[in-house]
Structure 1
Amino acid sequence: MRVLAALSGGVDSAVAAARAVDAGHDVVGVHMALSRTRDEFRTGARGCCSVEDAGDARRAADVLGIPYYVWDLSEQFEQTVVADFLAEYAAGRTPNPCVRCNEHIKFAALADRAQALGFDAVCTGHYARIAVHDDGSRSLHRAADAAKDQSYVLAVMGPDRLARAMFPLGEVAAKQEVRAEAAARGLAVSAKPDSYDICFVADGDTQGFLRERLGAQPGDVVDTDGGVVGRHDGAYAYTVGQRRGLALGRPAPDGRARYVLEVRPATGTVVVGPPELLTVRGLVGRDAVWFGSAPVDAVDCLVQVRAHGTPLPARASAVGTDVEVIVPVGLRGVAAGQSAVLYDGDRVLGQVTVDRALR
């Protein structure tokens, strides 16, 4: 097969591309330039898409003996991922930019361009598994290494793009194996730190980034009775479940810590309260993506609402164009805008974007 290998400049994508070469595929490497100011986008292990990363990707391609190109997708990235991030926070929701990047960039812009150029598949260093069934259909599963599993952020890709994806690291038992393999292959990125946090907020100061882009929007922090207990510079900087950084001027009557329960962008109000009020009985999701047919009847499953969250037993039902997910044991700290992924064991059933919590 003709395979386009996405080379981020990290160890995972380099080893994934190497394995595609070993499998006998005709592999071409491509680095996605996502930042308009790439020299500012890496600080140690934070961020990605820097000039350093592009250079590391090129050197990996040279070691593997494959052609290498840089594709400038910075405009699409700014108009989709970054714009969505800002709009969601401004609307009082909590987006996951890695989910949006996989949806709009890695498995839309990249995959669609690869298909137009005649490639059969896109290979990435994501940790997830693809099962191919007797009828030729595919299903997405958790990685063998639970600590590195990325099926949660990949669930938004859907079955059509899954059919043209390759994840050679899905069966790896531990990240140390990947680093050891990279070293054995002579890949200089074998000891390179993993990138983490939001790639376009390289210093890790998400509130500062939002304040710079959205401006100061002062408002009140109130308790569940509506009493003002503090002030803020922008409700967009807060998310459900947050405890730190509230700077409350008046302590709770019982002296207990208070958490963000709700963000009301229309009035610029942040509501805080005791931790027990963070637990809800479920959620309603929109924009469902199903790997297979949408369930006609309620289905027992597991639901996960954070990239490294604990999956909980749930029952999901389609309600018109929405999906209602009931969690008998309760679900803590659910925020609108989060991705909720439904599993049958380790198999991904589908994904929805949280619209609201069910209290």
Structure 2
Amino acid sequence: MRVLAAMSGGVDSAVAAARAVEAGHDVVGVHLALSRMPGTLRTGSRGCCTIEDSMDAQRAANIIGIPYYVWDFSERFKLDVVDDFIAEYSAGRTPNPCMRCNERIKFAALLEKAIDLGFDAVATGHYASISTDDHGNRELHRAAAWAKDQSYVLGVLTADQLAHSMFPLGATPSKAEVRAEAAARGFSVANKPDSHDICFIPDGDTRGWLAERVGAEQGRILERDGSVVGSHEGAHAFTVGQRKGLNLGVPSPDGRPRFVLEVKPATNEVVVGPKEALDIAEISGSKFSWAGLAPDDATVPFDCEVQIRAHADPVPAIAVLRDGVLVATPTTPLNGVAPGQTAVIYVGTRVLGQFTIDRTVSAVPMPASS
């Protein structure tokens, strides 16, 4: 097969590209230039897709012996990931930019261009596996090493995208083994730290970054009964479940800490309360997709597991498609769920699908605001 290897400049994608070559594929490496500031360099392990990363990717491609190109996707990235991130926070939701990047850039824009150029598949360094059922349908599954499993952030992939995807690291038992293989191959990135945080906010100051783009306007912090307990400089800086940075002027009657329960961008208000009020009995969303073959009849409730963060534990649940909305009811309450997060549905190790959380139902009824 003709395979386009997406090379981020990290150790995982370099080893994935090398393994694709050794599997007998005709491989071409490509690095995506996503930054609108091409002179930016990484700081430690923050950020990705910078000039330094591009050079690291090219050195790995040279050792592997494959052609290497840099494709400028910065405009598409700004529109589909960065601007979406700002809009979601402005609406009081908590988006996952890595999900949007996989959905709209790596497995949409990149894959579309790859297919137009005659490639059969795109290979990445994600830790996930693809298998085929008895009828030839492709399925997305967790990686062999659950500690490094990245199937959650790939939950947005559709059946058509899975048909053209390749994850050479899926069966690897540990990241240490990948680093050892990279060192044996002579890759300079063998001990390069993993990137973390939001790649387009490399200093990690999300609140300051948003304030520059959305603006800061003082608003009220309220208890669930509507009483004012503090003030803030912009509701967009808060997310459900947050505890730090509230700066409340009125202590809680029981002395326990308060957490953000709701963000109201229309009124620029933040609602806080006790930790137990974060327990969620039901989540749902109308923006959903199936990763491969859809259930025979999703309108019939089915057993599954739901995962709401990349590093969260999956929770047993019952899911059902009701009036065009995918609803998941966990057997034990979820904690600190925010609208805008992605819920990924698993059946065993298989990723069945995902939805963006539009609505949550609290396990602890919230008193009406005054």
Quote the residue 2:283 is aligned against: 283
Give 1:134 deviation, angstroms: 3.0
Quote the residue 1:262 is aligned against: 262
- Is the partner of 1:270 in helix, strand or coil? strand
Query: How far, CA to CA, are the matches of 1:132 and 1:77 in structure 2?
Result: 32
- The answer to whether the 8 Å contact 1:35/1:41 transfers is no
- The answer to whether the 8 Å contact 2:137/2:293 transfers is no
Quote the residue 1:348 is aligned against: 351
Q: String of CA shifts for 1:145-190, please: whole Å, max 9, x gaps.
A: 1111111110101111011000000011110000000000011110
- Is the partner of 1:224 in helix, strand or coil? coil
Q: Does 1:309 align with 2:312?
A: yes
More displaced 10-residue stretch of structure 1: 78-87 or 292-301: 292-301
Match of 2:325 among 322, 325, 343: 322
More displaced 10-residue stretch of structure 1: 7-16 or 290-299: 290-299
Q: String of CA shifts for 1:63-103, please: whole Å, max 9, x gaps.
A: 00000000000000000100110000000000000000000
Q: String of CA shifts for 1:336-356, please: whole Å, max 9, x gaps.
A: 000000001110111000001
- Is the partner of 1:131 in helix, strand or coil? strand
Q: String of CA shifts for 1:237-296, please: whole Å, max 9, x gaps.
A: 111100001111111011100000000111111000000100011111121111322423
Identity %: 62
Give 1:133 deviation, angstroms: 2.3
Q: Does 1:333 align with 2:336?
A: yes
Query: How far, CA to CA, are the matches of 2:28 and 2:90 in structure 1?
Result: 40
Q: Does 1:43 align with 2:49?
A: no
Quote the residue 1:186 is aligned against: 186
- The answer to whether the 8 Å contact 1:41/1:49 transfers is no
- The answer to whether the 8 Å contact 1:40/1:202 transfers is no
Query: How far, CA to CA, are the matches of 2:311 and 2:181 in structure 1?
Result: 25
Give 1:335 deviation, angstroms: 0.5
- The answer to whether the 8 Å contact 1:41/1:201 transfers is no
Query: How far, CA to CA, are the matches of 2:134 and 2:273 in structure 1?
Result: 52
> What one-letter code is carried by the residue in structure 2 that aligns with 1:320?
D
Query: How far, CA to CA, are the matches of 1:319 and 1:237 in structure 2?
Result: 33
- Is the partner of 1:231 in helix, strand or coil? strand
Query: How far, CA to CA, are the matches of 1:204 and 1:119 in structure 2?
Result: 36
Quote the residue 2:153 is aligned against: 153
Quote the residue 2:366 is aligned against: none
User: Pairwise mapping of residues 146-225 of structure 1 onto structure 2 (< 5 A)?
Assistant: 146-225=146-225
Quote the residue 1:112 is aligned against: 112
Give 1:41 deviation, angstroms: 5.2
> What one-letter code is carried by the residue in structure 2 that aligns with 1:38?
P
Quote the residue 1:4 is aligned against: 4
TM-score, length-normalised on structure 1?
0.99
TM-score, length-normalised on structure 2?
0.96
- The answer to whether the 8 Å contact 2:124/2:167 transfers is yes
User: Could you list the runs of 4 or more consecutive aligned residues of structure 1 that deviate by over 6 angstroms after TM superposition?
Assistant: none
Q: Which runs of 5 or more structure 1 residues have no equivalent in the other structure?
A: none
Q: Does 1:33 align with 2:24?
A: no
Query: How far, CA to CA, are the matches of 1:43 and 1:335 in structure 2?
Result: 29
Give 1:358 deviation, angstroms: 1.3
- The answer to whether the 8 Å contact 1:296/1:318 transfers is yes
Q: Does 1:252 align with 2:255?
A: no
Q: Which runs of 5 or more structure 2 residues have no equivalent in the other structure?
A: 363-370
- The answer to whether the 8 Å contact 1:48/1:199 transfers is yes
User: Pairwise mapping of residues 45-194 of structure 1 onto structure 2 (< 5 A)?
Assistant: 45-194=45-194
Q: String of CA shifts for 1:179-216, please: whole Å, max 9, x gaps.
A: 00000001111011110110000000111111111111
Give 1:40 deviation, angstroms: 2.4
Give 1:39 deviation, angstroms: 2.9
- Is the partner of 2:146 in helix, strand or coil? coil
- Is the partner of 2:320 in helix, strand or coil? strand
- The answer to whether the 8 Å contact 1:41/1:202 transfers is no
- Is the partner of 1:19 in helix, strand or coil? helix
More displaced 10-residue stretch of structure 1: 88-97 or 281-290: 281-290
Quote the residue 1:272 is aligned against: 272
Cα RMSD of the aligned pairs, angstroms, is 0.9
> What one-letter code is carried by the residue in structure 2 that aligns with 1:328?
T
- Is the partner of 1:236 in helix, strand or coil? helix
The alignment of Structure 1 onto Structure 2 pairs a total of residues equal to 359
Query: How far, CA to CA, are the matches of 2:47 and 2:116 in structure 1?
Result: 30
More displaced 10-residue stretch of structure 1: 213-222 or 198-207: 213-222
Query: How far, CA to CA, are the matches of 2:337 and 2:199 in structure 1?
Result: 23
